[in-house]
Amino acid sequence: MNKILFFLLILFCSKTIGQTTNSSQIKNNNPVIKGWYADPEGIVLDETYWIYPTFSVPYEKQVFLDAFSSKDLTHWTKHARILDTAAVKWAKKAIWAPSIIKNKNKYFLFFGANDIQNDNEAGGIGVAVASKPEGPYRDYLGKPLVDKFYNGAQPIDQFVFRDKDGQCYLIYGGWRHCNIARLKADFTGFKPFDDKTVFKEITPENYVEGPFMFIKNNKYYFMWSEGGWTGPDYCVAYAIADSPMGPFKRIGKILGQDPKIAVGAGHHSVIKAPNSDKYYIVYHRRPLTETDGNSRETCIEEMHFDANGFIKPIIITNEGVQADLIK
- Domain residue limits, the chain: 42-303
Burial class (CB in 10 A: 0-12, 13-18, 19+), 52: buried
Helices (H), 138-294: none
Structure confidence by residue, pLDDT tens digits, 67-104:
999 999 999 999 999 999 999 999 999 999 999 999 99
What share of the chain in percent tops pLDDT 70? Answer: 92
SS3 242: coil
Q: Catalytic site residues?
A: 39, 209
The mean pLDDT values, 10 residues at a time, for the chain of 327 residues are: 45 40 61 98 98 98 98 97 97 98 97 98 98 98 98 98 98 98 98 98 98 98 96 95 98 97 97 95 97 97 98 98 93
pTM (two decimals): 0.91
Helices (H), the chain: 2-25
Structure confidence by residue, pLDDT tens digits, 253-288:
999 999 999 999 999 999 999 989 999 999 999 999
For the beta carbon of residue 149, count every other beta carbon within 10 angstroms.
Answer: 20
Q: What is d(CA 132, CA 46) in angstroms, rounded to the nearest whole number?
A: 10
Query: Which helix or strand (DSSP H or E) is residue 140 part of?
Result: none
Residues ≥6 apart with Cβ < 8 Å to 293? 229, 230, 286
The CATH code that applies to domain 42-303 is: 2.115.10.20
